[in-house]
Structure 1
Amino acid sequence: MNPGPWGILIIALVVLLLFGRGKISNMMGEVAGGIKAFRKGMAEDDDKPVAEIEQPRQAETTLSEAKEVDRSKDA
């Protein structure tokens, strides 16, 4: 069931009557503003460097050093 040219015309007329010309143009302006803000945000993200991932810090003492410390305490 494909709407023909008359069906599309009737749907467009009903939408125009329900919302009015002013509301439709306001909605289109808001949609355009949202698209512009999205594009601006995407462009700003491209300019920023990617945050460096911190490498995990090495433990102050290794396991073997910790065992040696424990042995010295026992003695």
Structure 2
Amino acid sequence: MGISFWQIAIVVLIVVLLFGAGKIPRLMKDVGSGINQFKRGLKEESNSDENSEEASSAKLEQDKETATTATAARSAETESKDDKKVANG
């Protein structure tokens, strides 16, 4: 039981009578514009998520470098104290 040509024609006729021939193209333009804005919003959201992931990854790398530097500094400080103890006797 599909939709016949006459049923589609009646629906189109009713739509034209309700909205008028001039409003239909404007209505379709507005629908298309809404779809485009929705797609742009999704793309911006996706880019925002990627940027936040990159930022957190960069922060993690920076924290690792800071920890490595701090460990190296402590190690050098410990060696320096050991050298002073040996020199003092």
Report the TM-score when normalising by structure 2.
Answer: 0.49
Which runs of 5 or more residues in structure 1 are unaligned? 53-75
Letter of the structure 2 residue corresponding to residue 16 of structure 1: V
Aligned length: 52
In structure 1, distance between residues paired with 2:32 and 2:3 = 28
Specify the structure having the higher radius of gyration (Cα). 2
Q: Identity across aligned pairs (percent)?
A: 38
Match of residue 23 from structure 2? 23
Match of residue 59 from structure 1? none
User: What is the correspondence of 1:48-59 to structure 2 with a 5 Å cutoff?
Assistant: 48=48, 49-50=51-52
Following superposition, the deviation at residue 2 of structure 1 comes to 4.8
Following superposition, the deviation at residue 18 of structure 1 comes to 1.6
Q: Deviations over 1:4-27 (max 9, x none)?
A: 211211121121122112211111
Letter of the structure 2 residue corresponding to residue 4 of structure 1: S
Match of residue 38 from structure 1? 38
In structure 2, distance between residues paired with 1:36 and 1:5 = 31
> Which structure has more helix as a fraction of its residues?
2
In structure 2, distance between residues paired with 1:43 and 1:2 = 38
Is 2:15 the counterpart of 1:12? no
In structure 1, distance between residues paired with 2:24 and 2:34 = 15
In the TM superposition, structure 1's runs of 4+ consecutive aligned residues that sit over 4 Å from their partners are none
In structure 2, distance between residues paired with 1:34 and 1:20 = 21
